[in-house]
Amino acid sequence: MKLILMLVCAGVCLVACASANYPVSPTMTPTPEPTRIPVLSTIALPTPRTQGPMSVEETMLKRRSIREFKDTPLTLAEIGQLLWAAQGITHPAGLRTAPSAGALYPLEVYAVTREATYRYDPHAHQLIVHARGDLRAPLYAVALMQDSILQAPLTIVITAVYARTSKKYGEERTPRYVALEVGHAAQNVLLQAVALNLGAVPIGAFLDDQVQQVLSLPRDHQPLYLIPVGHPR
The binding site for ligand FMN (CB under 6 A) comprises 64-65, 67, 146, 201-205
Phi, psi (deg, nearest 5) at residue 17: -65, -40
Complex with ligand FMN: residue 32 or 175, whichever CB lies closer: 175
Complex with ligand FMN: residue 67 or 164, whichever CB lies closer: 67
Least gap, CB of 74 to ligand FMN (angstroms): 19
Complex with ligand FMN: residue 98 or 116, whichever CB lies closer: 98
Query: Which residue number places its CB atom closest to ligand FMN?
Result: 204
Least gap, CB of 19 to ligand FMN (angstroms): 28
Q: Which residues of 73-82 are buried (b: 16+ CB within 10 A; e: fewer)?
A: ebeeebbbbb
Q: Please check whether residue 110 is in contact with residue 74, taking contact to mean a CB–CB distance below 8 angstroms.
A: no
Rg of the chain over Cα atoms, rounded to whole angstroms, equals: 20
Least gap, CB of 35 to ligand FMN (angstroms): 26
Q: What is the 3-state secondary structure (H, E, C) of 133-175?
A: CCCHHHHHHCCCCCHHHHHCCEEEEEEECHHHHHHHHHHHHHH
Q: Please check whether residue 207 is in contact with residue 139, taking contact to mean a CB–CB distance below 8 angstroms.
A: no
Complex with ligand FMN: residue 161 or 190, whichever CB lies closer: 190
Least gap, CB of 124 to ligand FMN (angstroms): 30
Complex with ligand FMN: residue 153 or 228, whichever CB lies closer: 228
Determine what percent of the chain falls in helix, strand and coil, rounding each to the nearest 5.
40, 20, 40
Least gap, CB of 143 to ligand FMN (angstroms): 7
Taken in order 218, 220, 225, 229, the sign of the CA dihedral is negative
